[in-house]
A and B are shown apart, each in its own frame.
Chain A
Amino acid sequence: MAKRPVLQDFVVERDESRCVACQACVRMCSNDVHSYDPETNKVESDSAKCVGCHFCESFCPTKAINIKRSASQFRENANWQYRDIANLVKQAETGGVLLTGMGCDRPYPVYWDHILLNASQVTNPSIDPLREPMELRTYIGRRPDRIQWTVDSGQWTANKKQSSSIQHPASSIQSLLKLEIPIMFSAMSYGSISYNTCVSLARAAREIGTFWNTGEGGLHPDLYEFGKNTIVQVASGRFGVHKDYLETASAIEIKIGQGAKPGIGGHLPGEKVTGDISRTRMIPEGTDALSPAPHHDIYSIEDLKQLIFALKEATRYSKPVGVKIAAVHNVAPIASGVVRAGADYVAIDGLRGGTGAAPLTIRDNVGIPIELAIAAVDTRLREEGIRNQASLIAAGGFRNSADVIKAIALGADTVYIATSALVALGCNLCQKCYTGKCNWGIATQDPYLTKRLNPEIGTQRLVNLLRAWSLEIKEMLGGMGINAIESLRGNREHLRGVGLSDTELRILGIKAAGESW
Chain B
Amino acid sequence: MISDLFTVTVLVGILASGIRLSTPYLYAAIGEAFGQKSGVLNLGVEGQMLLGAFAAFYVALTTGSLWLGLLTAMIVGALMGLAMAYVTVNLHAEQGISGIGFYLFGLGMSDLLFQKLMGTVETVKGFPEIYIPGLSDIPGIGKIFFSQNILVYGAYLLVPIAWFVLNKTTLGLKIRSVGENPDAADSLGVSVSRIRYFTIILGGTLSGIAGASLSIALLNVFQQNMTSGLGFIAVALVYFGGWRPIGILGGALLFSFINSLQLWMQVLSIPIPSDIAVMMPYVVTILVLVATVSKVRAPSALSKPFERGD
Please indicate whether A and B come from the same complex rather than being unrelated chains.
no
- Report B's interface with A, CB cutoff 8 A: none
- Report A's interface with B, CB cutoff 8 A: none
